[in-house]
Amino acid sequence: EFETEEISLRAASTGFTVLLAILGMPIGNKCHGNYVVPRWLIKAPLWQKRLFLAGLFGAELSSATTLKDHDYNFYCPILSMNKINKSLESGRAFLQNISKMLEEFGVSTLAISQRKEFVNKNGLLSYRLRLILSGRSKDLINLYSKIGFEYNEERKFQANTAAGYLRFKEFVLCEKRRVAELAPQLKNSCGWPRVKIYEYLTESTYICERFIERSLYEPRKTSPRSWRDIPNFKDYLRSATEGLGRSGMVWEQIKAITDISYEDDVYDFTVAHPHHNFIANSFVVSNCGVRLMKTDLTLKEVQPKIKDLIYGLYNNIPAGVGSKGDIRVGVDEERKLLVQGAKWAVNRGYGRKEDIEATEEHGAIEGADPAAVSERAYERGKRQAGTLGSGNHFIEVQVVDQIYDKEASDIFGLETGSIAVMIHSGSRGLGYQVCDDYSRSMIRALSKYKITVPDRQLACAPVRSEEGQAYLGAMRCAANYAWANRQCLMHLTRRTFEKVFNRSEKDLGMDLIYDVAHNIAKIEKHVINDKKMNLCVHRKGATRAFGPDHPELPDRYKSIGQPVIIPGDMGRNSYLLVGTAKAAESFYSTCHGSGRVLSRTAAIKRCAGRSISRELEQKGILVMASGRATLAEEAPEAYKDVNDVVHVVHEAGISKRVCRMRPLGVIKG
């Protein structure tokens, strides 16, 4: 009689046995045999190593379980194997190989222990070897989320849930550390009363008044703890089981569900990205733009707090595909936003009037037609003001490391060692939907106006046509939304700096240098054959570069020309330039960035198995993003070297270098 049932598969093939042996499968009794991790596996890519380790761990690694007397912390995982004396060293070598493989996944090990087990009937002494893995949160999260368990559903479920629980704990601890440090500073440095501090710091569910009180009046000898304020692991596991059963899946919040208009063949699946892919009579618009903000801070002041700063920006500013923020507007209010642009944001407390003076078109282009915007676009835009978006959109904390034009840099308030902040974002889902709606309109217009194009993405209509005018009205709405969005993003950035440095944004000198669009079509006057003419100037992948004394420039910049902002990739420099009189040759336009040399798909393939964030951190650049794929597709090698690009622009005379910045920290969608 048997208490358990075992199901096995027997393959009576000599060839299969030989193949397994050649690949490194132990033959015979594993306790007696000498074997190590095969050399080919040590050289294999990470995804193959992960499959091997997950299969091994499903059989041999201990489960994700918490301490019996403290159900908030986990036991150190243990990988065990038995060996007789003659094969003991090969067992140690095997576990050492496993330890080195784990390091590649960011998992540390503590030790290899050994103890005597028993003497069998043949008089052979058996030893138990144990590889003890680290029980630190960071190591456990990497172990359970990057490797996990295969073939053992119970262990897989517990490991996935444990990874979610540990991330949850880390979030709570980070909040507590921030509050524990900030509370005394607000009391001692700012002179805030206790009630005001409570009100300011109790935004989080897991920060109570008692914790703030202890942080104020009882000097902390140890770091804050998360237990008692949060569910223990058993309760967390129970809630996961109730929601998803024993599926091995864990809870994640859905950020957005979006209908995608797609007419071509679908072979597997497609993901919508707001690429700049709509052309109408030679203009393409997704309404992105970039703004640069100065500060009075120096590298010496910011460097020790860069992690707090980047963590704060990442947590305070929603980023990623479909991200939504706390700035919500109804339909009527959204119509006002589409007409007023950045002024709408400033009128509601998201900035100051000086910001409007330093924004192209004063933050709102005339001629916006809210009636030309679809209900679907309104729906997508009502929760995305003050959100970063995805792809190459970013907020970057930079330090000025080289000055080329002292006169201009003095006017901008920048010097070597100054800290600046660059914001790159656009009109989010609303702008994308405008493009999507009108691309179909333009496709229908091709036959109407007898226009032939080699690709449907080149669909267009005459500017003065009914379709062209409707699109211009909707595009201007999207451009105004983008200016409002960047204004809100700057407001959230200023608030984060205030929290980290315990000073007001005015005291920190956080003034806007300039905001300029780089995907927009505008009706402008230009001289053609000695005659002034109205032209529809389309700047796609380009930005405006008016020279000195241009009537549309703020008074403070008329002597030097319009600020021109050219960001690089997240691993190299960005530049501030000024427009020139010679830029009339390019309709007062210059490039808006360094330009890609690899497609996003090619960049992801090139970066497979690498940690881009770790590579950048080794260069002194801290990066936080909503997903690993974003970092791969935006890796520095996917772009041209911006230093070379700006050199060409400068030598061509269409823009003049003022200063160069290098990144200290970046957040990306």
SS3 660: strand
- What does each C-alpha distance from 59 to 33, 56, 111, 124, 133 come to in angstroms? 19, 5, 21, 25, 16
Q: pLDDT band for position 249 (50/70/90)? A: low
373-393: pLDDT as tens digits: 988 888 888 778 888 877 788
40 contacts 23 by C-beta, under 8 angstroms? yes
504-550: pLDDT as tens digits: 999 999 999 999 998 888 999 999 989 999 998 988 889 999 999 99
SS3 432: helix
pLDDT mean across residues, the chain: 86
Q: Which letter, b or e, does each residue of 299-324 get, where b requires 16 or more Cβ atoms within 10 Å of its Cβ?
A: eeebeeebebbbbbbbebbbbbbbbb
Most confident of 245-249, 366-370, 430-434: 366-370
Q: What gap in Å lies between CA 386 and CA 493, rounded to an integer?
A: 10
Q: pLDDT band for position 274 (50/70/90)? A: very low
| pLDDT recorded at residue 669 | 73
Place of tokens 């550390």: 177
**What letter does residue 3 receive in the DSSP assignment?**
S
**pLDDT over threshold 80, residue 207:** no
361-376: pLDDT as tens digits: 999 999 999 999 988 8
DSSP codes joined into one string, 190-240: S---HHHHHHHHTTSTT--HHHHHHHHHS--SS----TTTS--HHHHHHHH
The secondary element (H helix, E strand) that includes residue 289 is strand 289-298
| pLDDT recorded at residue 652 | 94
SS3 257: coil
Of 423, 430, 432, nearest to 398 by C-alpha is 423
Counting residues of the chain whose pLDDT is more than 70, the rounded percentage is 90
| pLDDT recorded at residue 248 | 54
Centroid of chain to Cα 557: 34
Annotated catalytic, 592?
yes
SS3 70: strand
| pLDDT recorded at residue 275 | 38
φ, ψ for residue 646, nearest 5 deg: -65, -35
Which range is least confidently modeled, 40-49, 261-270, 300-309?
261-270
567-602: pLDDT as tens digits: 998 888 999 999 999 999 999 999 998 888 888 888
399 contacts 418 by C-beta, under 8 angstroms? yes
**How large is the average pLDDT for residues 242-271?**
59
Structure tokens at 583: 């830029």
Which range is least confidently modeled, 141-145, 216-220, 340-344, 608-612?
216-220
Q: pLDDT band for position 272 (50/70/90)? A: very low
Task: Tell me the residue type at 561.
Answer: G
Task: Spot the catalytic one: 70, 538, 592, 650.
Answer: 592
| pLDDT recorded at residue 567 | 93
Q: What gap in Å lies between CA 561 and CA 549, rounded to an integer?
A: 7
Of 136, 229, 217, nearest to 183 by C-alpha is 217
pTM above 0.85, yes or no: no
59-118: pLDDT as tens digits: 999 999 888 777 888 999 999 999 998 999 999 999 999 999 999 999 999 999 999 887
144-185: pLDDT as tens digits: 999 999 988 888 888 988 988 888 888 788 888 888 888 888
Paired residues of 19 in beta bridges: none
Contacts for 186-191: CB closer than 8 Å, 24+ residues apart: 186/502, 187/216, 189/502, 190/502
568 contacts 594 by C-beta, under 8 angstroms? yes
484-507: pLDDT as tens digits: 999 999 999 999 999 999 999 999
Q: What gap in Å lies between CA 237 and CA 165, rounded to an integer?
A: 9
**In sequence order, what E strands does 468-559 have?**
512-517, 519-528, 531-540, 542-544
Q: What gap in Å lies between CA 432 and CA 436, rounded to an integer?
A: 6
Q: pLDDT band for position 336 (50/70/90)? A: very high
